[in-house]
């Protein structure tokens, strides 16, 4: 969970065109959940900047508070109500000092709960779903007039059009790595998942919209873009010639953008890993050797109950094709333990799959019931103590595999994109091709550059490195060198 997202983005075009300077106000944004929520929170700050809002890290200093929520984790809604209880006290203290505070709840919990949030938490002025943030100025205006705003319409086309308008604005300085949403919603209807109900059906942005935003990001200093979607490899967007492209073709087009040296994408579904996308992993130096490809379970019985519509053997064959195309790729995954009906043998099938695939990292969770999903009403719910024991066993296996993968990087020289200062003086933290953070002693001037780094030590999640003297790496130049050696280490 991202506890707090505080990003200030100036909107030069809006300021220049305004007839009068807007009042100076401050917004506090707390973001929960996935990378798409992080992206959405950044865009909300974009929308609010022309209205005079700058970002604050101090809740008590905020004229506007927005909770951008996620419905995936257990008891997500209750956690939001608990946070709203704390915010209520701050709002009351500000009122005693003669200061107003508006409160908004956005994202997937807002989409799912709707009017219930306003009923249970009267301090909330606005409730709006993930497809409505581009309407924030209008929603704020309505809320300021005393109206309780609840906006949960699925107007995703208007949201995408707003993103396209933003891409046409003057270039602003951006961090070295950034997210870019290309697709939202999901048509898979896995029986454990609320996404089709909170984000809607799959909708893809057009090639022109995506390329325009990516070019703007690269012009602002972004070196690495991660394409986002609830089912990102299901993206099928309209091309300039009217044809429909898949994600592999889109990645090839984005790799042609000057200054954009690294591409990633998440989150994928095994059913949508087509030949063109796998070939992109073989052919594109800009496409990093990392793939998050959730399987959720290694049991065919449980996969069928989850409505995943693939088998374990199909997943194995897919992994073999991907590794043939990109031998040094780091595979990542999601696992759910304790899905209704999961027996000891079903769990052992999952453990067997993990042992056979050998992951570089994984995310794992105990199954928790989501109201409105088919899984919530299934028979044979697994006891909590059984879920907990299985989760601990699975996580221990995944941790050992992650340690082994990191150890296989020891002594290698790889490209690192430096993104920020480290915890220690004179230290920067970058990102390896396989997505691990890499702390390195390096001058601050190297932030935003890609440098060759020798890996000299490993941690549970991180690789520690040192700069290779006199060697500047860019555009993935050392990627070819590590490609052959990666799994020989």
Residue 2 lies inside a defined structural domain of this protein: no
Model confidence pLDDT, tens digit, residues 141-150: 999 988 988 8
CA atoms within a 13 Å half-sphere pointing along the CA-CB vector of 192: 24
Residue where a domain stops, chosen among 408, 425, 456:
408
| Of 209, 152, 223, residue with least CA distance to 446 | 223
Query: Both 426 and 336 in a single domain?
Result: no
Model confidence pLDDT, tens digit, residues 383-440: 999 999 999 999 999 999 999 999 999 999 999 999 999 999 999 999 999 999 999 9
Residue 112 lies inside a defined structural domain of this protein: yes
Between CA 58 and CA 62 the distance in angstroms is 7
Burial of 471-483, coded b for 16+ CB within 10 Å and e otherwise, reads eebeebebbeebb
pLDDT confidence bin for 475, thresholds 50/70/90? very low
pLDDT confidence bin for 155, thresholds 50/70/90? low
CATH number for the domain including 202? 3.80.30.20
Residue 4 lies inside a defined structural domain of this protein: no
Residue 1 lies inside a defined structural domain of this protein: no
Residue where a domain stops, chosen among 133, 153, 173:
153
Residue 204 lies inside a defined structural domain of this protein: yes
CATH number for the domain including 31? 3.40.50.12160
**pLDDT top residue among 73 and 278:** 278
Query: Both 143 and 235 in a single domain?
Result: no
Between CA 310 and CA 307 the distance in angstroms is 8
Query: Both 135 and 255 in a single domain?
Result: no
Query: Both 235 and 127 in a single domain?
Result: no
Residue 469 has a pLDDT of 80
Query: Both 20 and 86 in a single domain?
Result: yes
- Is the separation of the CB atoms in 488 and 330 below 8 Å? no
Query: What's the number of domains the chain is made of?
Result: 3
Question: In this model, does residue 256 exceed pLDDT 50?
Answer: yes
Please tell me whether 414 is known to bind a ligand: no
Query: Both 322 and 422 in a single domain?
Result: no
CATH number for the domain including 450? 2.40.50.140
Find the range with the poorest average confidence among 3-17, 167-181, 266-280, 434-448: 3-17
DSSP letters along 346-390, please?
HHHHHHHHHHHH--SEEEEEE----TTSGGGG-SSPPPHHHHHHH
**pLDDT top residue among 320 and 147:** 320
Residue where a domain stops, chosen among 408, 431, 460:
408
Model confidence pLDDT, tens digit, residues 46-102: 889 888 999 999 999 999 999 998 876 656 677 888 899 999 999 999 999 999 999
Residue 3 lies inside a defined structural domain of this protein: no
Question: In this model, does residue 485 exceed pLDDT 80?
Answer: no
Model confidence pLDDT, tens digit, residues 179-206: 999 998 899 999 998 888 777 888 899 9
Query: Both 142 and 171 in a single domain?
Result: no
Residue 21 has a pLDDT of 64
Query: Both 29 and 133 in a single domain?
Result: yes
**What letter does residue 461 receive in the DSSP assignment?**
S
Model confidence pLDDT, tens digit, residues 208-229: 999 999 999 999 999 999 999 9
Between CA 487 and CA 323 the distance in angstroms is 11
Please tell me whether 193 is known to bind a ligand: yes
Please tell me whether 186 is known to bind a ligand: yes
Model confidence pLDDT, tens digit, residues 1-51: 333 333 333 333 344 444 456 678 999 999 887 777 888 888 888 889 888
Query: Both 384 and 426 in a single domain?
Result: no
Between CA 454 and CA 70 the distance in angstroms is 38
Between CA 362 and CA 366 the distance in angstroms is 14
Residue 110 lies inside a defined structural domain of this protein: yes
- Is the separation of the CB atoms in 55 and 29 below 8 Å? yes
Model confidence pLDDT, tens digit, residues 121-138: 999 999 998 878 888 899
Query: Both 306 and 187 in a single domain?
Result: yes
Please tell me whether 70 is known to bind a ligand: yes
- Is the separation of the CB atoms in 303 and 278 below 8 Å? no
- Is the separation of the CB atoms in 124 and 87 below 8 Å? no
**What letter does residue 338 receive in the DSSP assignment?**
S
Between CA 119 and CA 132 the distance in angstroms is 20
Structural domain span for residue 193: 158-408
As given in the structure block, the two tokens for residue 46 are 């974009």
Query: Both 264 and 353 in a single domain?
Result: yes
* Crossing angle between the packed helical segments 207-219 and 156-167, to the nearest 10 degrees: 40
Query: Both 167 and 227 in a single domain?
Result: yes
Residue 428 has a pLDDT of 98
Q: Quick check: helix, strand or coil at residue 266?
A: strand
Model confidence pLDDT, tens digit, residues 341-359: 999 999 999 999 999 999 9
Residue 345 lies inside a defined structural domain of this protein: yes
Separation in Å, CA 478 to CA 156, 325, 360, 414 = 40, 18, 20, 6
| Of 58, 59, 63, residue with least CA distance to 84 | 59
Residue 2 has a pLDDT of 38
Residue 369 has a pLDDT of 87
Residue 73 has a pLDDT of 61
């Amino acid at each position: 969970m991202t506890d707090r997202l505080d990003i200030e983005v100036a909107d030069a075009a809006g300021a220049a065109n305004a007839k009068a300077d807007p009042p100076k106000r401050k917004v506090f944004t707390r973001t929960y959940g996935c990378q798409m929520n992080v992206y959405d929170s950044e865009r909300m700050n974009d929308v609010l900047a022309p209205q005079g809002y700058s970002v604050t890290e101090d809740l008590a200093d905020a004229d506007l508070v927005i909770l951008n929520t996620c419905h995936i984790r257990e008891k997500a809604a209750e956690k939001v109500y608990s946070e709203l209880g704390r915010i209520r006290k701050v709002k009351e203290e500000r009122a005693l000092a003669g200061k107003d505070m508006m409160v908004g709840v956005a994202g997937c919990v807002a989409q799912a709960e709707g009017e219930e949030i306003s009923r249970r938490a009267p301090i909330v002025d606005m409730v709006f779903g993930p497809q409505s943030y581009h309407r924030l100025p209008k929603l704020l205006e309505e809320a300021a007039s005393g109206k309780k705003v609840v906006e949960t319409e699925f107007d995703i086309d208007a949201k995408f059009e707003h993103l396209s308008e933003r891409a046409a604005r003057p270039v602003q300085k951006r961090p070295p790595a950034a997210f870019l949403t290309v697709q939202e919603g999901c048509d898979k209807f896995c029986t454990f998942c609320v996404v089709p109900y909170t984000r809607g059906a799959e909708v893809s942005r057009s090639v022109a919209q995506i390329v325009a935003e990516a070019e703007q990001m690269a012009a602002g200093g972004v070196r690495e873009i991660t394409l986002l979607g609830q089912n990102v490899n299901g993206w099928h967007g309209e091309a300039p010639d009217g044809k429909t492209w898949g994600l592999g073709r889109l990645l090839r087009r984005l790799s042609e953008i000057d200054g954009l040296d690294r591409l990633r994408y998440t989150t994928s579904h095994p059913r949508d890993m087509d030949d063109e996308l796998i070939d992109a992993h073989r052919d594109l130096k800009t496409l990093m050797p990392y793939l998050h490809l959730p399987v959720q379970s290694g049991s065919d019985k449980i996969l069928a109950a989850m409505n995943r519509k693939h088998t374990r053997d199909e997943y194995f064959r897919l992994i073999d094709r991907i590794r043939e195309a990109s031998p040094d790729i780091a595979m990542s995954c999601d696992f759910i333990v304790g899905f209704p009906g999961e027996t000891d043998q079903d769990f052992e099938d999952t453990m067997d799959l993990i042992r056979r695939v050998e992951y570089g990292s994984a995310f794992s969770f105990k199954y928790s019931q989501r109201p409105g999903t088919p899984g919530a009403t299934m028979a044979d719910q697994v006891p909590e103590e059984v879920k907990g024991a299985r989760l601990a066993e699975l996580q221990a296996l995944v941790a050992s595999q992650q340690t082994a993968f990191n150890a296989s990087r020891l002594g290698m020289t790889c490209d690192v994109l430096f993104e920020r200062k480290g915890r220690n003086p004179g230290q920067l933290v970058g990102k390896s091709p396989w997505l691990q953070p890499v702390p390195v002693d390096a001058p601050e001037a190297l932030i935003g550059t890609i440098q060759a780094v020798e890996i000299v030590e490993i941690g549970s999640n991180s690789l520690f490195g040192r700069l290779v003297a006199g060697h500047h790496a860019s555009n993935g130049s050392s990627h070819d060198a590590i490609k052959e050696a990666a799994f020989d280490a």
